[in-house]
């Protein structure tokens, strides 16, 4: 498919395709997000049935994300394997240390490597992009240790680049809001449990069902919910009837206190306590 983009982005796009072609075969950690969806699409266009998309289900991964991932892969036609990966069973993970993501990614990539070897696939890839180099990403250490390649980073593609290319390729995720695992809603050092993750997932599902696009429900001690809404959606939230509905639903889910963060949604808000 021919796409219309500027020369610099075209060069990055070609670099990505050439790099993927040089790998020969890929097992891709596929979450259904903007980056991994784009990577799967391009890799499948280049390598065909030498690409496997691998999605891990767990209590930290919302069912809506899994359903979206399955739907897209069926449309593309790539091989899709769903595996189980329960992070809460990993020693050290549920204590929620600062390097929590390292433990999660290490187990994930080890399992994907098993899938890759079983299917004669030479490389395992993740969807990390060039912007991730400037963010706090403990999972990158696991990727490095397990020789996981990051084609989007190699090509120098930023999140904005990927959204532009995804739009040109008519991918449904081109404007999909950013997503991170549900564990990221809980402050470092506070124990992660299935009960908390379930409360968070149901609370976010409720807000999404009300029509909000970019939401986070941060879980703080004493069952306090801190709601982050996209700044362009804040005015919609400030409606007394809607506020009462949200309050009642969150109370029903088990939250004792419900607050709205006046700074709105922003990525990595839990990292503020780290003074990075």
What CA–CA distance (Å, rounded) separates 223 from 126?
34
Question: Edge-to-edge strand order for the sheet containing 215-220?
Answer: 215-220, 224-229, 257-260
What CA–CA distance (Å, rounded) separates 140 from 168?
29
Which of 35, 19, 12, 45 has the alpha carbon at shortest distance from 151? 19
What CA–CA distance (Å, rounded) separates 81 from 72?
13
Residue 56's SS3 state is strand
Active site residue 181: yes
DSSP states of 160-227? HHHHHHHHHTT-TTTTPPP---GGGGS-TTSPP-HHHHHHHHHHHHHHHHTT-SSEEEEEETTTEEEE
What CA–CA distance (Å, rounded) separates 174 from 240?
33
Cβ atoms of 135 and 111 closer than 8 Å: no
Cβ atoms of 207 and 215 closer than 8 Å: yes
Token duo for residue 101 = 């993501």
Q: 125 - beta bridge partners?
A: 28, 149
Return the active site residues. 181
């Amino acid at each position: 498919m021919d796409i219309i983009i500027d020369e610099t982005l075209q060069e990055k796009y070609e670099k990505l395709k050439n790099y993927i072609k040089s790998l020969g075969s890929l097992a891709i950690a596929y979450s259904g997000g903007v980056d991994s969806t784009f990577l799967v699409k391009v890799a499948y266009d280049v390598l065909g049935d030498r690409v496997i998309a691998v999605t891990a289900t767990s209590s930290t991964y919302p069912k809506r994300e899994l359903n979206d991932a399955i739907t897209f892969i069926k449309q593309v036609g790539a091989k899709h394997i769903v595996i189980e990966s329960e992070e809460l069973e990993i020693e050290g993970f549920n204590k929620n240390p600062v390097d929590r993501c390292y433990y999660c990614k290490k187990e994930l990539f080890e399992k994907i490597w098993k899938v890759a070897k079983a299917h004669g696939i030479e490389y395992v890839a993740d969807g990390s992009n060039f912007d991730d180099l400037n963010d706090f990403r403990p999972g990158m250490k696991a990727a490095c240790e397990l020789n996981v390649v990051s084609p989007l980073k190699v090509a120098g593609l930023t999140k904005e680049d990927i959204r532009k290319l995804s739009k040109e390729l008519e991918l449904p995720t081109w404007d999909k809001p950013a997503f991170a695992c549900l564990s990221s809603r809980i402050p470092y050092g506070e124990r992660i449990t299935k009960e908390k993750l379930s409360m968070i997932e149901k609370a976010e599902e409720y807000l999404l069902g009300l029509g909000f696009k970019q939401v986070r429900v941060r879980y703080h001690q004493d069952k306090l919910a801190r709601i982050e809404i996209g700044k362009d959606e804040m005015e919609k939230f400030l409606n007394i009837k809607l506020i009462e509905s949200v309050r009642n639903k969150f109370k029903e889910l088990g939250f004792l206190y419900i607050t709205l963060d006046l700074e709105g949604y922003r990525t990595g808000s839990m990292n503020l306590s780290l003074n990075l």
